[in-house]
Amino acid sequence: MNKMTCGIATVLIGREFALVPLLNYFKNVEFPDNIDVNLYITLGCDLDFEIILKDKIKQLELDKKYNNIYFIKGVSKCYSNLSWNEWETFTRQQDPNKKHRAALKNIEIALEAAKEETYIHFVDDDTIPPYHALKDLLKSYQSINNCGLASGIYFNKTWVEPTAAVSEIEASRRIVGSYIKETCRNCSIDDLAIENYQDVGFVGNGCMLVAGNDVKKILPLSEWHEDGDDIAPPDFIICRRIRRLGKIISIVPSVIAEHLDQAGKPVGLTLEYLNNIKNSTGTLEYLVTHYDKYLNYEILSKQYNKILIIHYTEIDKEIPSKLYNYSNIEIIKRSIKETCNKYSDIKNYSKLKGESMQYAILEEMHNFVKDKSNYITYYYDTLHNTIIKIPLLDSTNLKKLLNKKP
């Protein structure tokens, strides 16, 4: 029997802010037992960056860690004349298709180079996994029947400005991935806590593990197989083709990678925040409701640790002053008109009054839990006159996910 091998592959397009953390990962990544590991670096960068790269590789003595280090010529990133700050904004918001085409070609080159390996662990150049990532990805891949791709979790960079429906804080909880299979619709880490994360529709290619034999079947990526391949991002094409092989895509909760912005800072929820939830004790039960004069807030204040009352100034000019006397009741004043002016995606807010009130509820829920580690969320449904528990924003569910071992 041939010895199992793994190729760790990446594409470098000149992100200096991420180079040291990425190479530190390659230096310190823990190898599974009885596996030979090679490193594949596709160069989509200029010569100056390549010189810096090879110098740092020499300093870290990566040649002593890997059986072989291969450098493969790639293509330059689009709009290479732009600064990183300009590039991130422009390509994501104004010309994502050109960004996707260049990325697709480089990923195709990287996977083609490593396809003879038993497994390929692909890592984006701005995505920094924990050192145990390869071990956990491989263990999960091998333990799940018919697994075709195992992926870590990492948070999404901003592609669009915040909207009335998705606030900036809510967007920070969204990951690169979709548990829905029919279309790639970004979900949150909270969704993973209540959905089947071991069989999802799409993941990013930033921290993944695939079998070399399966990669051979889905290459070349730039060859159109289905409608939309000409405009789809690389991760969409990879995931769809893996599932077309009859295999499943699984997320590994123990592998949470940091996705770095152009300043080298992780986007999304911090590892500290997630670790606080992972190790939390006790619970903080809180209720969110729009102001309702028929609710007995005195009784409710004894049943919940915290109550958030949303007060729309256009609907109720004043609310009883005694509500301000409860230590665990917080009154949140909001204005439909001001919200309409804040978000450019809503031109006529009066037509969306009902929806806007639901958006406000979600926004205040996310505002409340952003610095909490032991929350359980409840919502008063005025239409059905009932209080319901919100599993999506229940830290006990997220805690179970974060403590899940591969």
Average pLDDT of the residues in 378-384:
92
The H or E element that residue 117 is part of is none
Q: Output the pLDDT for position 256.
A: 98
- Range scoring the smallest mean pLDDT among 16-30, 130-144, 267-281, 357-371: 357-371
pTM: 0.91
Q: Output the pLDDT for position 162.
A: 60
Sign of the Cα pseudo-torsion (227, 229, 233, 236, in order): positive
- Range scoring the smallest mean pLDDT among 15-19, 77-81, 256-260, 353-357: 353-357
Per-residue pLDDT tens for 146-179? 999 999 999 998 765 666 567 889 999 999 999 9
Is pLDDT above 90 for 64?
A: yes
**CA distances, 338 to each of 64, 327, 330, 341, 345 (Å):** 60, 28, 20, 5, 13
- For residues 335-367, one letter each, b for 16 or more C-beta atoms within 10 angstroms of the residue's C-beta and e for the rest, the string is ebeebbeebeebeebeebeeebbebbbbbbbbe
Is pLDDT above 90 for 341?
A: no
Average pLDDT of the residues in 203-231:
91
Which residue would you say has higher pLDDT here, 347 or 80?
Answer: 80
DSSP state of 325: G
Is pLDDT above 90 for 62?
A: yes
Q: Which of 52, 51, 53 is nearest to 10 (CA)?
A: 53
Contact 194, 392 (CB under 8 A): yes
Average pLDDT of the residues in 350-368:
75
Is pLDDT above 80 for 355?
A: no
> Both tokens of residue 393?
């924003």
Q: Output the pLDDT for position 353.
A: 52
Which residue would you say has higher pLDDT here, 294 or 78?
Answer: 294
Q: Which residues pair with 147 in a beta bridge?
A: 248
Strands 147-153 and 5-12, bridge-based pairing: unpaired
Q: Output the pLDDT for position 358.
A: 77
- Range scoring the smallest mean pLDDT among 77-86, 236-245, 295-304: 77-86
Is pLDDT above 90 for 227?
A: no
Q: Which of 225-239, 264-278, 344-358 has the highest mean pLDDT?
A: 264-278
Which residue would you say has higher pLDDT here, 198 or 226?
Answer: 198
Is pLDDT above 90 for 348?
A: no
Which residue would you say has higher pLDDT here, 116 or 77?
Answer: 116
Strands 119-123 and 69-73, bridge-based pairing: unpaired
Q: Output the pLDDT for position 163.
A: 63
Share the mean pLDDT of the chain.
90
138 sits in the region (left: phi over 0; alpha: psi -120 to 50; else beta) called: alpha
pLDDT level of residue 281 (50, 70, 90 thresholds) = very high
Q: Output the pLDDT for position 185.
A: 80
Angle between helices 47-60 and 16-28 (to 10 degrees): 30
Average pLDDT of the residues in 356-361:
76
Q: Which residues pair with 259 in a beta bridge?
A: 127
pLDDT level of residue 300 (50, 70, 90 thresholds) = very high
